[in-house]
Structure 1
Amino acid sequence: MNRLYQDAQRLGQEAVRVVILDRAINLLVAGGPSELTMRRLAAEIGASTKVLYTMFGSKEGLVDALYREGFARLRRAQQNIERAADPLAHLNNLGTAYREHALAEPAYYRVMFEQTLPGFQPSAEALAVAETAFDASVEAVAACIDAGIFPRGDATEISKIFWAAAHGAVSLEIAGHFPPELATRHYETLMKAVGQGLQAGTS
Protein backbone atom coordinates (compact mmCIF):
# COMPACT_ATOMS: atom_id res chain seq x y z
CA MET A 1 0.00 0.00 0.00
CA ASN A 2 1.23 3.47 -0.89
CA ARG A 3 2.19 5.44 2.22
CA LEU A 4 2.52 8.93 0.72
CA TYR A 5 -0.38 10.24 2.78
CA GLN A 6 0.82 8.69 6.04
CA ASP A 7 4.37 9.93 5.53
CA ALA A 8 3.14 13.46 4.74
CA GLN A 9 0.94 13.51 7.83
CA ARG A 10 4.03 13.40 10.01
CA LEU A 11 5.17 16.67 8.41
CA GLY A 12 1.89 18.52 8.88
CA GLN A 13 -1.22 19.58 6.99
CA GLU A 14 0.64 21.64 4.39
CA ALA A 15 2.77 18.64 3.44
CA VAL A 16 -0.39 16.55 3.05
CA ARG A 17 -1.93 19.17 0.77
CA VAL A 18 1.18 19.37 -1.42
CA VAL A 19 1.44 15.59 -1.74
CA ILE A 20 -2.19 15.35 -2.82
CA LEU A 21 -1.97 18.21 -5.31
CA ASP A 22 1.27 17.03 -6.88
CA ARG A 23 -0.04 13.51 -7.37
CA ALA A 24 -3.37 14.83 -8.67
CA ILE A 25 -1.79 17.08 -11.25
CA ASN A 26 0.40 14.26 -12.53
CA LEU A 27 -2.67 12.08 -12.99
CA LEU A 28 -4.54 14.85 -14.78
CA VAL A 29 -1.77 15.82 -17.19
CA ALA A 30 -0.50 12.30 -17.87
CA GLY A 31 -3.83 10.57 -18.29
CA GLY A 32 -6.35 13.31 -18.96
CA PRO A 33 -9.51 14.26 -17.04
CA SER A 34 -10.84 10.69 -16.99
CA GLU A 35 -7.81 9.52 -15.01
CA LEU A 36 -8.27 12.08 -12.26
CA THR A 37 -10.93 10.59 -10.00
CA MET A 38 -11.16 10.84 -6.25
CA ARG A 39 -10.98 7.06 -5.95
CA ARG A 40 -7.88 6.79 -8.15
CA LEU A 41 -6.15 9.65 -6.35
CA ALA A 42 -6.94 8.20 -2.93
CA ALA A 43 -5.39 4.89 -3.99
CA GLU A 44 -2.32 6.68 -5.36
CA ILE A 45 -1.56 8.40 -2.06
CA GLY A 46 -2.78 5.66 0.29
CA ALA A 47 -5.73 7.54 1.81
CA SER A 48 -9.50 7.26 1.83
CA THR A 49 -11.71 9.25 -0.52
CA LYS A 50 -13.22 10.85 2.60
CA VAL A 51 -9.92 12.66 3.15
CA LEU A 52 -10.09 14.16 -0.33
CA TYR A 53 -13.74 15.16 -0.13
CA THR A 54 -13.15 16.74 3.26
CA MET A 55 -10.27 18.82 1.93
CA PHE A 56 -11.58 19.75 -1.52
CA GLY A 57 -15.31 19.04 -1.60
CA SER A 58 -15.36 17.61 -5.13
CA LYS A 59 -13.24 16.90 -8.19
CA GLU A 60 -13.94 20.43 -9.38
CA GLY A 61 -12.79 21.76 -6.02
CA LEU A 62 -9.60 19.75 -6.36
CA VAL A 63 -8.87 21.20 -9.80
CA ASP A 64 -9.60 24.68 -8.45
CA ALA A 65 -7.00 24.02 -5.76
CA LEU A 66 -4.52 22.93 -8.45
CA TYR A 67 -5.13 26.18 -10.31
CA ARG A 68 -4.58 28.24 -7.14
CA GLU A 69 -1.47 26.27 -6.25
CA GLY A 70 0.06 26.85 -9.67
CA PHE A 71 -0.28 30.61 -9.39
CA ALA A 72 0.81 30.63 -5.75
CA ARG A 73 4.02 28.83 -6.73
CA LEU A 74 4.59 31.27 -9.58
CA ARG A 75 4.14 34.19 -7.18
CA ARG A 76 6.72 32.72 -4.81
CA ALA A 77 9.16 32.16 -7.67
CA GLN A 78 8.81 35.81 -8.68
CA GLN A 79 9.11 37.16 -5.16
CA ASN A 80 12.28 35.14 -4.53
CA ILE A 81 14.18 37.06 -7.22
CA GLU A 82 16.64 39.47 -5.62
CA ARG A 83 15.96 43.05 -6.68
CA ALA A 84 18.58 44.41 -9.09
CA ALA A 85 19.73 48.02 -8.92
CA ASP A 86 18.65 48.56 -12.54
CA PRO A 87 14.81 48.37 -12.70
CA LEU A 88 14.82 47.06 -16.27
CA ALA A 89 17.37 44.36 -15.39
CA HIS A 90 15.13 43.35 -12.50
CA LEU A 91 12.12 43.13 -14.81
CA ASN A 92 14.09 40.93 -17.20
CA ASN A 93 15.21 38.75 -14.30
CA LEU A 94 11.56 38.24 -13.40
CA GLY A 95 10.91 37.20 -16.99
CA THR A 96 13.71 34.66 -16.77
CA ALA A 97 12.25 33.35 -13.50
CA TYR A 98 8.85 32.98 -15.20
CA ARG A 99 10.35 30.81 -17.92
CA GLU A 100 12.43 28.74 -15.51
CA HIS A 101 9.44 28.11 -13.27
CA ALA A 102 7.22 27.09 -16.18
CA LEU A 103 9.83 24.64 -17.46
CA ALA A 104 10.33 23.22 -13.97
CA GLU A 105 6.59 22.71 -13.37
CA PRO A 106 4.98 22.17 -16.80
CA ALA A 107 2.07 20.20 -15.34
CA TYR A 108 0.92 23.13 -13.22
CA TYR A 109 1.54 25.47 -16.16
CA ARG A 110 -0.89 23.45 -18.26
CA VAL A 111 -3.59 23.54 -15.59
CA MET A 112 -3.12 27.29 -15.20
CA PHE A 113 -3.31 28.13 -18.89
CA GLU A 114 -4.53 25.25 -21.05
CA GLN A 115 -7.92 24.29 -19.55
CA THR A 116 -6.78 20.73 -18.95
CA LEU A 117 -10.20 19.91 -17.50
CA PRO A 118 -12.88 20.83 -20.10
CA GLY A 119 -15.50 23.18 -18.72
CA PHE A 120 -13.52 24.09 -15.63
CA GLN A 121 -14.07 27.67 -14.47
CA PRO A 122 -11.77 29.00 -11.74
CA SER A 123 -13.51 30.26 -8.63
CA ALA A 124 -13.38 33.93 -7.64
CA GLU A 125 -10.81 33.00 -4.99
CA ALA A 126 -8.64 31.22 -7.56
CA LEU A 127 -8.79 34.17 -9.95
CA ALA A 128 -7.78 36.51 -7.14
CA VAL A 129 -4.73 34.34 -6.43
CA ALA A 130 -3.87 34.41 -10.14
CA GLU A 131 -4.02 38.21 -10.17
CA THR A 132 -1.48 38.49 -7.35
CA ALA A 133 1.02 36.21 -9.08
CA PHE A 134 2.38 39.14 -11.07
CA ASP A 135 2.62 41.75 -8.31
CA ALA A 136 6.42 41.65 -8.49
CA SER A 137 6.31 42.31 -12.24
CA VAL A 138 3.93 45.24 -11.81
CA GLU A 139 6.22 46.71 -9.15
CA ALA A 140 9.23 46.32 -11.47
CA VAL A 141 7.41 48.07 -14.31
CA ALA A 142 6.39 50.87 -11.95
CA ALA A 143 10.05 51.26 -10.98
CA CYS A 144 10.98 51.50 -14.67
CA ILE A 145 8.37 54.23 -15.15
CA ASP A 146 9.57 56.15 -12.10
CA ALA A 147 13.15 55.94 -13.36
CA GLY A 148 12.14 57.32 -16.76
CA ILE A 149 13.03 54.09 -18.55
CA PHE A 150 9.43 53.56 -19.67
CA PRO A 151 6.93 56.28 -20.52
CA ARG A 152 4.14 57.10 -18.11
CA GLY A 153 1.38 54.54 -18.22
CA ASP A 154 -0.51 51.87 -16.33
CA ALA A 155 2.10 49.59 -14.76
CA THR A 156 -0.35 46.69 -14.60
CA GLU A 157 -1.18 46.90 -18.30
CA ILE A 158 2.47 47.25 -19.29
CA SER A 159 3.29 44.24 -17.12
CA LYS A 160 0.68 42.25 -19.04
CA ILE A 161 2.51 43.06 -22.28
CA PHE A 162 5.64 41.45 -20.85
CA TRP A 163 3.58 38.53 -19.60
CA ALA A 164 1.97 38.00 -23.01
CA ALA A 165 5.38 37.91 -24.67
CA ALA A 166 6.87 35.60 -22.05
CA HIS A 167 3.85 33.31 -22.04
CA GLY A 168 3.83 32.94 -25.81
CA ALA A 169 7.50 32.03 -25.98
CA VAL A 170 7.31 29.63 -23.04
CA SER A 171 4.23 27.90 -24.40
CA LEU A 172 5.95 27.33 -27.74
CA GLU A 173 9.02 25.99 -25.97
CA ILE A 174 7.02 23.58 -23.81
CA ALA A 175 5.17 22.38 -26.91
CA GLY A 176 8.51 21.59 -28.54
CA HIS A 177 8.49 24.29 -31.22
CA PHE A 178 11.76 25.86 -30.03
CA PRO A 179 14.78 23.52 -30.05
CA PRO A 180 16.39 23.40 -26.58
CA GLU A 181 19.67 24.75 -27.90
CA LEU A 182 17.90 27.86 -29.27
CA ALA A 183 15.10 28.39 -26.76
CA THR A 184 17.07 30.50 -24.29
CA ARG A 185 18.38 32.79 -27.00
CA HIS A 186 14.91 33.19 -28.54
CA TYR A 187 13.45 34.06 -25.15
CA GLU A 188 16.13 36.58 -24.24
CA THR A 189 15.90 38.24 -27.66
CA LEU A 190 12.13 38.56 -27.36
CA MET A 191 12.17 40.05 -23.87
CA LYS A 192 14.90 42.50 -24.86
CA ALA A 193 12.88 43.57 -27.90
CA VAL A 194 9.77 44.18 -25.78
CA GLY A 195 11.77 46.31 -23.36
CA GLN A 196 13.36 48.30 -26.17
CA GLY A 197 9.96 48.86 -27.76
CA LEU A 198 8.63 50.36 -24.57
CA GLN A 199 11.74 52.47 -24.05
CA ALA A 200 11.23 53.97 -27.51
CA GLY A 201 8.16 55.73 -26.14
CA THR A 202 10.35 57.86 -23.88
CA SER A 203 12.48 59.28 -26.68
Structure 2
Amino acid sequence: MNTPYQDAQSVGQAAVRTTILDHAIDLLVTEGPAALTMRRIATGIGASTKVLYTMFGGKEGLADALYREGFARLRRAQQQVQGAGNPLAHLNDLATAYRAHALAEPAYYRVMFEQAIPGYRPSPDALSAAETAFDASVTAVQACIDSRVFRPGDAYEISKLLWAAAHGAVSLEIAGHFPPETAAHRYDTLMTALGQSFLAEQGQSSDKD
Protein backbone atom coordinates (compact mmCIF):
# COMPACT_ATOMS: atom_id res chain seq x y z
CA MET A 1 0.00 0.00 0.00
CA ASN A 2 1.39 3.38 -1.00
CA THR A 3 2.04 6.17 1.48
CA PRO A 4 0.35 9.55 0.98
CA TYR A 5 3.70 10.85 -0.22
CA GLN A 6 4.03 8.10 -2.84
CA ASP A 7 0.51 8.73 -4.09
CA ALA A 8 1.24 12.44 -4.39
CA GLN A 9 4.54 11.78 -6.15
CA SER A 10 2.73 9.93 -8.90
CA VAL A 11 0.72 13.08 -9.62
CA GLY A 12 3.47 15.70 -9.39
CA GLN A 13 5.26 18.24 -7.22
CA ALA A 14 2.16 20.36 -6.71
CA ALA A 15 0.37 17.34 -5.25
CA VAL A 16 3.34 16.59 -2.99
CA ARG A 17 3.27 20.16 -1.69
CA THR A 18 -0.48 19.99 -1.04
CA THR A 19 -0.12 16.66 0.77
CA ILE A 20 2.57 18.08 3.05
CA LEU A 21 0.61 21.23 3.82
CA ASP A 22 -2.64 19.35 4.43
CA HIS A 23 -0.91 17.02 6.89
CA ALA A 24 0.83 19.93 8.59
CA ILE A 25 -2.43 21.84 9.07
CA ASP A 26 -4.07 18.66 10.40
CA LEU A 27 -1.30 18.25 12.99
CA LEU A 28 -1.66 21.90 13.96
CA VAL A 29 -5.40 21.44 14.56
CA THR A 30 -5.33 18.08 16.31
CA GLU A 31 -2.16 18.36 18.40
CA GLY A 32 -1.18 22.01 18.48
CA PRO A 33 1.90 23.92 17.27
CA ALA A 34 4.35 21.75 19.22
CA ALA A 35 3.55 18.87 16.86
CA LEU A 36 4.45 20.95 13.82
CA THR A 37 7.95 19.53 13.30
CA MET A 38 9.55 18.44 10.07
CA ARG A 39 10.05 14.92 11.45
CA ARG A 40 6.42 14.50 12.53
CA ILE A 41 5.12 15.73 9.20
CA ALA A 42 7.52 13.56 7.20
CA THR A 43 6.65 10.48 9.24
CA GLY A 44 2.93 11.14 8.84
CA ILE A 45 3.06 11.13 5.05
CA GLY A 46 5.75 8.48 4.64
CA ALA A 47 8.50 10.76 3.35
CA SER A 48 11.99 11.67 4.48
CA THR A 49 12.69 14.96 6.22
CA LYS A 50 15.02 15.76 3.32
CA VAL A 51 11.96 16.11 1.07
CA LEU A 52 10.49 18.75 3.39
CA TYR A 53 13.75 20.62 3.86
CA THR A 54 14.34 20.66 0.11
CA MET A 55 10.85 22.02 -0.55
CA PHE A 56 10.48 24.48 2.34
CA GLY A 57 13.95 25.06 3.76
CA GLY A 58 12.85 24.52 7.36
CA LYS A 59 10.03 25.15 9.79
CA GLU A 60 9.93 28.88 9.07
CA GLY A 61 9.57 28.17 5.38
CA LEU A 62 6.82 25.65 6.10
CA ALA A 63 4.95 28.20 8.23
CA ASP A 64 5.30 30.73 5.41
CA ALA A 65 3.94 28.17 2.95
CA LEU A 66 0.91 27.50 5.17
CA TYR A 67 0.26 31.24 5.40
CA ARG A 68 0.53 31.68 1.64
CA GLU A 69 -1.63 28.62 1.01
CA GLY A 70 -4.38 30.00 3.22
CA PHE A 71 -4.54 33.20 1.20
CA ALA A 72 -4.26 31.32 -2.10
CA ARG A 73 -7.32 29.28 -1.15
CA LEU A 74 -9.18 32.41 -0.13
CA ARG A 75 -8.28 34.06 -3.43
CA ARG A 76 -9.59 31.06 -5.37
CA ALA A 77 -12.81 31.09 -3.36
CA GLN A 78 -13.33 34.77 -4.17
CA GLN A 79 -12.54 34.26 -7.85
CA GLN A 80 -15.16 31.53 -8.10
CA VAL A 81 -17.94 33.97 -7.19
CA GLN A 82 -19.76 34.69 -10.42
CA GLY A 83 -20.26 38.29 -11.40
CA ALA A 84 -23.82 39.50 -11.05
CA GLY A 85 -25.68 42.08 -13.10
CA ASN A 86 -26.08 44.12 -9.94
CA PRO A 87 -22.59 45.21 -8.77
CA LEU A 88 -23.74 45.56 -5.17
CA ALA A 89 -25.19 42.04 -5.22
CA HIS A 90 -21.84 40.80 -6.47
CA LEU A 91 -20.04 42.55 -3.64
CA ASN A 92 -22.45 41.01 -1.14
CA ASP A 93 -21.86 37.59 -2.69
CA LEU A 94 -18.12 38.04 -2.17
CA ALA A 95 -18.74 38.83 1.49
CA THR A 96 -20.87 35.70 1.83
CA ALA A 97 -18.13 33.65 0.17
CA TYR A 98 -15.54 35.07 2.55
CA ARG A 99 -17.48 33.86 5.60
CA ALA A 100 -18.24 30.48 4.05
CA HIS A 101 -14.58 29.91 3.21
CA ALA A 102 -13.38 30.94 6.67
CA LEU A 103 -15.80 28.51 8.31
CA ALA A 104 -14.76 25.74 5.92
CA GLU A 105 -11.02 26.34 6.52
CA PRO A 106 -10.78 27.50 10.17
CA ALA A 107 -7.26 26.13 10.66
CA TYR A 108 -5.86 28.10 7.73
CA TYR A 109 -7.86 31.13 8.90
CA ARG A 110 -6.08 30.97 12.25
CA VAL A 111 -2.68 30.70 10.58
CA MET A 112 -3.52 33.69 8.39
CA PHE A 113 -4.94 35.97 11.07
CA GLU A 114 -4.50 34.64 14.59
CA GLN A 115 -0.81 33.73 14.89
CA ALA A 116 -1.58 30.04 15.28
CA ILE A 117 2.13 29.26 14.81
CA PRO A 118 4.00 30.95 17.71
CA GLY A 119 6.90 33.10 16.61
CA TYR A 120 5.98 33.12 12.94
CA ARG A 121 5.77 36.49 11.26
CA PRO A 122 4.91 36.72 7.55
CA SER A 123 7.70 37.83 5.28
CA PRO A 124 7.20 40.96 3.16
CA ASP A 125 6.77 38.71 0.11
CA ALA A 126 4.12 36.65 1.92
CA LEU A 127 2.24 39.79 2.96
CA SER A 128 2.36 41.03 -0.63
CA ALA A 129 1.00 37.71 -1.88
CA ALA A 130 -1.75 37.81 0.76
CA GLU A 131 -2.86 41.21 -0.49
CA THR A 132 -3.87 39.75 -3.85
CA ALA A 133 -6.55 37.61 -2.16
CA PHE A 134 -8.69 40.75 -2.00
CA ASP A 135 -8.33 41.89 -5.60
CA ALA A 136 -11.83 40.64 -6.40
CA SER A 137 -13.28 42.75 -3.59
CA VAL A 138 -11.48 45.90 -4.75
CA THR A 139 -12.72 45.29 -8.30
CA ALA A 140 -16.28 44.79 -7.07
CA VAL A 141 -16.18 47.99 -5.03
CA GLN A 142 -14.83 49.89 -8.02
CA ALA A 143 -17.73 48.54 -10.10
CA CYS A 144 -20.15 49.89 -7.49
CA ILE A 145 -18.47 53.30 -7.73
CA ASP A 146 -18.36 53.27 -11.53
CA SER A 147 -22.06 52.39 -11.75
CA ARG A 148 -22.86 55.14 -9.22
CA VAL A 149 -24.29 52.70 -6.71
CA PHE A 150 -21.56 53.92 -4.34
CA ARG A 151 -20.58 57.55 -4.16
CA PRO A 152 -17.06 58.40 -5.42
CA GLY A 153 -14.30 57.09 -3.20
CA ASP A 154 -11.17 54.99 -2.92
CA ALA A 155 -12.15 51.42 -3.83
CA TYR A 156 -9.09 49.99 -2.08
CA GLU A 157 -9.83 51.75 1.22
CA ILE A 158 -13.53 50.86 1.10
CA SER A 159 -12.60 47.23 0.44
CA LYS A 160 -10.31 47.29 3.49
CA LEU A 161 -13.13 48.57 5.69
CA LEU A 162 -15.46 45.86 4.42
CA TRP A 163 -12.77 43.27 5.12
CA ALA A 164 -12.26 44.61 8.64
CA ALA A 165 -15.95 44.21 9.38
CA ALA A 166 -16.14 40.75 7.81
CA HIS A 167 -13.02 39.58 9.62
CA GLY A 168 -14.27 40.81 12.99
CA ALA A 169 -17.60 39.03 12.71
CA VAL A 170 -16.09 35.80 11.36
CA SER A 171 -13.42 35.72 14.05
CA LEU A 172 -16.07 36.07 16.76
CA GLU A 173 -18.05 33.26 15.15
CA ILE A 174 -15.06 30.91 14.89
CA ALA A 175 -14.16 31.66 18.52
CA GLY A 176 -17.69 30.69 19.57
CA HIS A 177 -18.89 34.14 20.61
CA PHE A 178 -21.55 34.19 17.88
CA PRO A 179 -23.65 30.99 18.10
CA PRO A 180 -24.69 29.29 14.84
CA GLU A 181 -28.33 30.33 15.16
CA THR A 182 -27.45 34.04 15.14
CA ALA A 183 -24.06 34.26 13.38
CA ALA A 184 -25.28 34.40 9.78
CA HIS A 185 -27.91 37.03 10.50
CA ARG A 186 -25.47 39.20 12.44
CA TYR A 187 -22.90 38.92 9.66
CA ASP A 188 -25.40 39.87 6.94
CA THR A 189 -26.76 42.75 9.03
CA LEU A 190 -23.26 44.12 9.65
CA MET A 191 -22.17 43.89 6.02
CA THR A 192 -25.44 45.42 4.78
CA ALA A 193 -25.17 48.32 7.23
CA LEU A 194 -21.60 49.08 6.24
CA GLY A 195 -22.42 48.83 2.54
CA GLN A 196 -25.28 51.29 2.97
CA SER A 197 -22.88 53.88 4.40
CA PHE A 198 -21.21 54.14 0.98
CA LEU A 199 -24.37 54.35 -1.13
CA ALA A 200 -24.70 57.29 -3.48
CA GLU A 201 -28.30 57.59 -2.31
CA GLN A 202 -28.91 56.56 1.28
CA GLY A 203 -32.33 55.21 0.54
CA GLN A 204 -31.03 52.75 -2.04
CA SER A 205 -31.42 49.06 -1.21
CA SER A 206 -28.37 46.79 -0.80
CA ASP A 207 -30.32 43.55 -0.96
CA LYS A 208 -29.08 40.75 -3.19
CA ASP A 209 -31.60 41.21 -5.99
Kept in 2: contact 1:2–1:44 (CA 8 A): no
Residue type matched to 1:121 in 2? R
Residue type matched to 1:149 in 2? V
**Partner in structure 1 of residue 197 of structure 2:** 197
Mapped pair 1:40 → 2:33: no
Instruction: Give the unaligned 5+ runs of structure 1.
Output: none
**Partner in structure 2 of residue 179 of structure 1:** 179
- Kindly report the root-mean-square deviation, in angstroms, between the aligned alpha carbons of the 2 structures: 1.5
Residue type matched to 2:173 in 1? E
Note the C-alpha offset of 1:2.
7.4
Kept in 2: contact 1:67–1:112 (CA 8 A): yes
Distance 1:76 1:145 in 2: 24
Distance 1:116 1:41 in 2: 17
Kept in 1: contact 2:24–2:36 (CA 8 A): yes
**Partner in structure 2 of residue 188 of structure 1:** 188
Note the C-alpha offset of 1:177.
1.1
Q: Spell out, residue by residue over 1:22-54, the C-alpha distance to the aligned partner (whole angstroms, 9 max, x if none).
A: 110121233222110000110111100000000
Question: Aligned to 1:199, what secondary structure does the other structure show?
Answer: coil
Mapped pair 1:28 → 2:28: yes
**Partner in structure 1 of residue 155 of structure 2:** 155
Alignment of 1:7-156 (within 5 A): 7-156=7-156
Kept in 2: contact 1:74–1:98 (CA 8 A): yes
Kept in 1: contact 2:5–2:45 (CA 8 A): yes
Residue type matched to 1:62 in 2? L
Displaced runs of 4+ in structure 1, greater than 3 A? 200-203
Distance 2:201 2:155 in 1: 14
Kept in 2: contact 1:29–1:116 (CA 8 A): no
TM-score where L is the length of structure 1? 0.96
TM-score where L is the length of structure 2? 0.93
Provide the aligned length of Structure 1 versus Structure 2. Answer: 203
Instruction: Give the unaligned 5+ runs of structure 2.
Output: 204-209
Q: Spell out, residue by residue over 1:108-163, the C-alpha distance to the aligned partner (whole angstroms, 9 max, x if none).
A: 00000001122211122211110100000000000111111212111111001110
Q: Spell out, residue by residue over 1:147-195, the C-alpha distance to the aligned partner (whole angstroms, 9 max, x if none).
A: 1121211111100111011101111111111111211111111111111
Distance 2:197 2:157 in 1: 15
Kept in 1: contact 2:148–2:200 (CA 8 A): no
Question: Using a 3 Å threshold, how does the CA distance of structure 1 residues 201 and 127 change in structure 2: closer, same or farther?
Answer: farther
Residue type matched to 2:62 in 1? L
Identity %: 71
Mapped pair 1:6 → 2:6: yes
Question: Using a 3 Å threshold, how does the CA distance of structure 1 residues 146 and 202 change in structure 2: closer, same or farther?
Answer: farther
Note the C-alpha offset of 1:201.
7.2
Residue type matched to 2:29 in 1? V
Question: Aligned to 2:197, what secondary structure does the other structure show?
Answer: helix
